[in-house]
Amino acid sequence: MVRALLIHILVILIVNCTPKVYQDDAHPTVDDTGHDSNTIAPSPPLGWNSFDSYGVYLHEEAAMANLEAFSKKLAPYGYEYFVIDAGWFGEFQLQSGTMYPAEKHAKVLNIDDYGLLQPSKTYFPNGLKPIIERCHELGLKFGIHLMRGIPRIAYERDTPIKGTSYTARDVADTSSICVWNHQNFGVDMSKPGAQEFYNSLINQMAEWGVDFLKYDDLVPYPDEIEAIASAIDQCDRPIILSLSPGDHLVAENLQTFRRANMLRVTPDIWDDQKGIDLCFAAWRKWQGSEQLGFWIDMDMIPFGQLQMMSPRPIQLDSQITKEEVSEMINKGELQNIELLAGKGWKRWSEFNRNQMHTFITMRALAASPLMMGGDLPTLDSLSFSLITNPHILACNQNGVMGHLVYDQQGIEIWNTPEKNKDAGWIGIFNRLENDMKIDITQSKLGLEEAQEYVLTDLWKGEELDEEVTIASQGVTFVRYNIK
């Protein structure tokens, strides 16, 4: 009991060692390193996002349950952003007698007279205000998901743009439509009224008390990124901007991306080896791109229970994939089955222990924001221990994206120096499907041979051996200090 209390105190000290102050004026102070000392995100944000566990179908009861669990389980360790993902505005058709959706994306959206999205009466009959107020009452910050553009229903109704003489049809680009979600048209930023539309939307978010915006289908459209960032600048509230998803990034747009605070550099990541491999590839490409207030994001953490709103139809075999079901539907072999958002059906995360260690160690060393994705009320002990591990949090909140120092025969070694210290963290990753041995030298670890170091295997809690066996798809997580 005493040991647990000491660890709890250590984590709070580690996570809160960097003060978090907001940019309140147009002239932020700059410290002697050249960094803006009033940045809104001085370290990688920590939080929870509803998509992995609830898809686009989070409802009021589940939101409140997860918020209360967040406050008890994650907030003591420095997690602060509670984020509701897409679908919160959709008037979904439901499966009879249930809260389960009967359509992938809602065909009917709730908007106001100015074409601005409003909370779903189906899933949030009391609106979002009680959730936002409870979030702030608990000392947490509230986040929400938005899709790029203007709702099609606003175009159809030709709703006015607040504070202007323009309407939705004046600014909508009907040729610019998200590939996976057809609810919106893009906004043509060359048109009068376009910036004012985004200003009105962001101002509504600020009035609601939103602290974090996850903006989807945005990274291929730098002009709309600029517009949304400018809309945030003109509102009266500090709001973190997270760009998503990241499978179609153009590196030449990095300066525009840096107007946001988080940049997704992967597609959706799920609980399989493919997702881990995609993260490693993105890490290689974007290593060194982070800076104070701007973090390279590898998507959510798919631990715990996932896809809570997508139970497998009882008439389907337990091993059948969504891809196979989709093919059967297209062939006319299956009817009355709707394939919902997300991957697979309701399940516990299918990562094995080695993959879980690799996944969370990678996120720590890469300074990727830690956004838990699984259901919090039912969170298992292993997942909880990993996402609240003091060494993981210390490495992650250090805010330095590690660099690759060794890559041979399936072994990758990544080194993350600690700021302003002769110390840091190392991940020795086995990327192969069989156990691997490696002789440890300081050169392989990216350390100076002339210097003496204390090397600690953090997962084992003991001094690092001169020869290490790393399990299939596993990792040895190392702390180094000068003797």
Q: What is the rounded distance in angstroms from the CA atom of residue 360 to the CA atom of residue 300?
A: 11
pLDDT at 342: 94
Element holding 477 (H helix, E strand): strand 475-482
pLDDT at 50: 98
CATH hierarchy code of domain 407-482: 2.60.40.1180
Element holding 6 (H helix, E strand): helix 2-15
pLDDT at 231: 98
pLDDT at 11: 44
Q: Is 45 helix (H, G, I), strand (E, B) or coil?
A: coil
Pairing of strands 475-482, 453-457: antiparallel
Q: Is 194 helix (H, G, I), strand (E, B) or coil?
A: helix
Report the DSSP beta bridge partners of residue 468: 438
pLDDT at 282: 97
Provide the token pair at 132.
């936002």
Pairing of strands 212-216, 262-264: unpaired
CA 59, 300, 66 angle in degrees (round to 5)?
35
- Closest C-alpha among 327, 376, 345, 310 to residue 68: 376
Element holding 414 (H helix, E strand): strand 411-417
pLDDT at 278: 97
Spell out the domain ranges in the chain: 2-311+346-401, 407-482
Q: What is the rounded distance in angstroms from the CA atom of residue 85 to the CA atom of residue 162?
A: 25
Q: Are 342 and 52 in contact (CB under 8 A)?
A: yes
pLDDT at 315: 79
Pick the CATH number of 2-311+346-401 from 3.30.1360.120, 3.20.20.70, 3.30.360.10, 3.40.50.720: 3.20.20.70
Cite the DSSP H helix spans in 49-193: 51-54, 60-73, 129-137, 152-157, 168-171
- What is the chain's pLDDT, residue by residue, as a tens digit (483 residues)? 444 444 444 444 444 443 333 333 333 333 333 334 458 999 999 999 999 999 999 999 999 999 999 999 999 999 999 999 999 999 999 999 999 999 999 999 999 999 999 999 999 999 999 999 999 999 999 999 999 999 999 999 999 999 999 999 999 999 999 999 999 999 999 999 999 999 999 999 999 999 999 999 999 999 999 999 999 999 989 999 999 988 889 889 999 999 999 999 999 999 999 999 999 999 999 999 999 999 999 999 999 999 999 998 887 887 788 788 888 888 888 887 888 999 999 999 999 999 999 999 999 999 999 999 999 999 999 999 999 999 999 999 999 999 999 999 999 999 999 999 999 999 999 999 999 999 999 999 999 999 999 999 999 999 999 999 999 999 999 999 999
Q: What is the rounded distance in angstroms from the CA atom of residue 358 to the CA atom of residue 283?
A: 13
Q: Computed over its alpha carbons, how large is the radius of gyration of the chain?
A: 23
The answer to whether 2-311+346-401 and 407-482 have equal CATH topology is: no
User: What pTM did the predictor assign?
Assistant: 0.91
pLDDT at 38: 55
- Closest C-alpha among 287, 194, 295 to residue 242: 295
Q: What is the rounded distance in angstroms from the CA atom of residue 241 to the CA atom of residue 62?
A: 25
For residues 261, 264, 268 and 270, what is the CA-based torsion angle, rounded to 10 degrees?
Answer: -80
pLDDT at 435: 97
> Which H, E and C letters describe 419-463, residue by residue?
CCCCEEEEEEEECCCCCEEEECCCCCCCCCCCCCEEEEECCCCEE
